[in-house]
Amino acid sequence: MSTNKTGGRERRRHQGDNRVTLKDVAREAGVAPITVSRALNTPENVSAGLRERIDNAVSALGYVPNLIAGGLASAGTKVIPVVVPSLSILTYIEVIHGIQQTLEPAGYQVLLGSTDFDLEREASLVDTVLGYSPSGMIMTGLRHRESAERRLKAWGRPLVEIMELGETCIDMNIGVENTEAGACMARHLVEQGYQRIAFLGTGMAHDYRARLRYEGHRQALKAAGIESDVLFQDDQPSSYEVGRKLFLEALDARPELQALHFANDNLAAGAILEANRIGVRVPQDIAIGGYLGLSLGEHLTPRLTTVTVPRYEMGVEAAKMLLAKLEGGSPASSRVDIGYELKVREST
């Protein structure tokens, strides 16, 4: 059945290497391999007749391009590494979701990388993923190891740094002003008349964006002439459980507290749920504010006051910026402030 009349000694080295190649298609269609390549990648450069013959051959043989070979030859794969600090934090998941939903229809695949908030691992991850000759890349935050930053700059392809906003970025930047967002909630609490206010966070030793929000919180309280150093923190990843613990701890240690500013909605939700359980009234006994805008917040009783950040949209926009640059043009802007919004609900 095979057309293998010419000696049949072609060495097939790798196991399972029975895949149909461009060459097979070319033979079937009676054209040169390069013509098949063109018919697939730039059909407008191939006559209609050949195009059809080639398309037929492709589906007859069930040809699927080897993207690795293509990537090697053209020095770039349609892979976009997305490096985030954690996959257990909903925020990053939602951003990734936005990125993926935007990139996949454009023919790009997301290569996932997680650093666990460790810049050293981030640097080595950068080395690894650059090894896949990606066309572009998305990273979290603006602070990186010197070595990673150098590598990325030398690489010179489209790169979007997300979640945070800064004066200088490697290539493109989209995010929010964490300091301002933290200050925003703090000011709101002050305006509501609360005086004894605490900040409650977790993993702040490595999550510097949370630290920035705390910094904003402190500045705002200081500006209002209020004690600004009441801080409760923990090391574990954010969860309802940690929020609950922090809440009980604060209640116990500083019963005079009037308002709690949580570093994120997971913690704040854990606190409200515990308040429900033990009969602490929010906000009458104590007010609670969060950060993020998780949908859960709207379903709690009382509904959670929070500073929302459009996370899914941030992912979408980051991907669009990348695509714009990948497809030749330059993005509308290489630095976009995705913004945040104070949602005053019932918990403050």
Partner DNA sequence: CTGTTAGCGCCTTCAG
Partner DNA sequence: CTGAAGGCGCTAACAG
What lies within 8 Å, CB to CB, of 150 at 6+ separation is none
Q: Residue 200 pairs with which residues in a beta bridge?
A: 232, 262
Residues 75-114 that bind DNA (CB under 7 A): 75
Q: How far apart are CA 223 and CA 226, in angstroms?
A: 8
**CA dist list (Å): 16 to 10, 12, 13, 19, 20:** 15, 9, 9, 8, 11
- Residue labelled with tokens 């609360």: 194
- In the complex with DNA, the residue whose CB is nearer, 70 or 237, is 70
Asked if 202 interacts with a copy of itself (CB under 8 A), we say no
Is 258 a binder of a copy of itself (CB under 8 A)? no
Q: How far apart are CA 331 and CA 325, in angstroms?
A: 6
CA atoms within 13 A of residue 241's CA, in its CB half-sphere: 3
CB of 83 to a copy of itself, least distance (A): 11
- For residue 242, the minimal CB distance to a copy of itself (Å) is 11
Residue with token string 């609670």: 288
Least CB distance to a copy of itself at residue 129 (A): 7
Q: Binding of DNA at residue 61 (CB under 7 A)?
A: no
CB closer to DNA out of 40 and 99: 40
Task: Choose which of 58, 96, 220, 260 interacts with a copy of itself (CB under 8 A).
Answer: 96
Residue 225 region, left (φ>0) first, then alpha (ψ -120 to 50), else beta?
left
Options 55, 61, 109, 119; binder of a copy of itself; rule CB under 8 A: 109
Identity of the residue, 178 or 264, whose beta carbon is nearer to a copy of itself in the bound complex: 264
Nearest to 304 by CA among 292, 288, 281: 288
Q: Is 34 in the site for a copy of itself (CB under 8 A)?
A: no
The one segment of 44-52, 92-100, 216-224, 245-253 that binds a copy of itself by CB under 8 A: 92-100
Please tell me the number of Cα atoms within 13 Å of 69 on its side-chain side: 8
Does 205 help bind a copy of itself (rule: CB under 8 A)? Answer: no
Quick check: 64 binds a copy of itself (CB under 8 A)? yes
Does 72 engage in binding with DNA (CB under 7 A)? yes
Residue closer to a copy of itself, measured from CB, 192 or 276: 276
Nearest of 115, 96, 103, 59 to residue 79 by alpha carbon: 103
Point out which span in 40-48, 179-187, 223-231, 240-248 binds DNA (CB under 7 A): 40-48
State which of residues 7, 11, 225, 329 lies at the interface with DNA (CB under 7 A): 11
Give yes or no for a contact between 142 and 171, defined as CB atoms under 8 angstroms apart.
no
Which residue is it, tokens 């104590």? Answer: 286
* 9 contacts DNA (rule: CB under 7 A): no
End-to-end CA distance of the chain: 78
Nearer to a copy of itself by C-beta: 71 or 339?
71
Contact 22, 63 (CB under 8 A): yes
**Interface residue with a copy of itself, options 32, 34, 87, 344 (CB under 8 A):** 87
Whole-angstrom Cα distance, residue 297 to residue 236? 21
Instruction: Specify whether the CB–CB gap between 290 and 268 falls below 8 A.
Output: yes
Q: Does position 241 bind a copy of itself by CB under 8 A?
A: yes
What tokens were used for 163? 């979640």
Contact residue for DNA among 70, 239, 312, 324 (CB under 7 A): 70
Residue 19 CA from chain centroid, whole number: 35
The residues of the shown chain that bind a copy of itself, judged by CB under 8 A, are 13-18, 62, 64-69, 71-72, 74-77, 79, 87-88, 93, 96-97, 100-101, 104, 109-114, 127-133, 151, 154-157, 239-241, 244, 269-270, 273-274, 276-277, 295-296, 298-301
The residues of the shown chain that bind DNA, judged by CB under 7 A, are 10-11, 13-14, 17, 19, 21-23, 31-35, 37-38, 40-41, 44-47, 49-50, 65-66, 69-70, 72-75
